[in-house]
Structure 1
């Protein structure tokens, strides 16, 4: 009998095709997730080697896996590989993802933060561990008030410094980092000043100079605050320059595409 004459057989074949396509998609997703977990292991090994070259233990360096535009399923695979530090650049994306993932993740917000997004971010992400991108007193004050109003424990923050002088980048000028650090440390009781952050230039031959500038800023800030330098974090280094950053003293590196692959901006909400 021609299968076209048998609707039940056609339905069964269509269902089999649908199941097969679903299995293929699941396998593809699993393969993609496995790649991310393997990439994480490779990054951690490179961090360990860079730390050894700089005379430090790799346990002194935090790797923040930046999952911008990536689905929760891939983040979960990296989590299942044992990682707990993740970062996002966009408030809404972090608010959407955080509730779908385990509560013991320590989220870092590393993008430019607008005043009107402060309270939604803090309310929507109870396990937000750190905001790395405080670049003026206004945003520090908004964070301080929001943390207090929500009854949260003091929020860890880094002061973002524009070490490259590029207009396209956010951050306080190096000459203003001491004043801003003082404001956060002494004027914002609901914030915990933890250190400094910068984004190096895309021309990586210039990046070490950016890193050196941030290190100099740390010396000035610590002197002004009476703070031991080893207690003041340096968040610098991303996928293309994190090994250089570690060798220059970074304690916190933000790795996105090297772990998760190229970003998928069309999927960003």
Structure 2
């Protein structure tokens, strides 16, 4: 009888993360099945992503256009890819063409980007693309994202003027040292309240994408429905060369 295969470290880590997600959801009174875990695989090889895929996970995220264009064609088509963060308008068409199974863009932070995405989706004849509006909740100049005060107008633009986009929710990237995490998360939650009131939406219709490896449990407890977990699953990131979006 053959010995059972030994699970890789990333698969073991994934199982631990999913347990922690479920426990955090239970603590907050949420339903764990409503929390999506995006396994952020930037800088990691296709072989490692495949291990996590074969363990049953289907949702993966990348931050660099070049990297996702290289990886996606080598992996199964039923993966739901999320592109996370700032996206340059001149790379929109190549991204959507090269990754037909792109499930969501988490990082629309101005009307120009929304319009570019809308036109690109239309020209490719694909189904409407889900997008999250990125909000700069920490006020850092180095961070992409619209100021919270402009959030309602940008969401309104996406919903009313971008028929090829499906507004899914709001996302934020908190401070790297997590020092202002609760305030950032509260700010995003307040933005959702304002958006839903202004557009006559139920809060369940507006996801909150917040929380990463260092704070995803707190994010879930504060209402996040989409957490982006990278290094906790895949291990420390490796940056062999500088990449651009």
Same fold (TM over 0.5): yes
2:227 counterpart of 1:253 = yes
Larger RCO: Structure 1 or Structure 2 (Cα < 8 Å, ≥ 6 residues apart)? 2
Give the corresponding residue for 1:105. Answer: 79
Instruction: Map 1:100-249; keep pairs closer than 5 Å.
Output: 100-249=74-223
Contact residue 85 and residue 144 of structure 2 kept, 8 A = no
Q: Which has the larger radius of gyration?
A: 1
- 1:268 CA drift (Å): 6.8
- 1:111 CA drift (Å): 2.4
Give the corresponding residue for 2:64. Answer: 90
Contact residue 80 and residue 101 of structure 2 kept, 8 A = yes
Contact residue 88 and residue 110 of structure 1 kept, 8 A = yes
Give the corresponding residue for 1:55. Answer: 29
**TM-score between the two structures when normalised by the length of structure 1:** 0.87
- 1:225 CA drift (Å): 1.1
- 1:205 CA drift (Å): 3.4
Structure 2: where are the runs of 5+ without partners?
Answer: none
Structure 1: where are the runs of 5+ without partners?
Answer: 1-29
- 1:200 CA drift (Å): 1.1
> How well do the aligned residues superpose, as a CA RMSD in angstroms?
1.3
More helix by share: 1
- 1:267 CA drift (Å): 5.8
Contact residue 69 and residue 268 of structure 1 kept, 8 A = no
- 1:204 CA drift (Å): 2.0
Contact residue 69 and residue 267 of structure 1 kept, 8 A = no
CA deviations 1:180-201 (Å, max 9, x no partner) are 0000011000000011000111
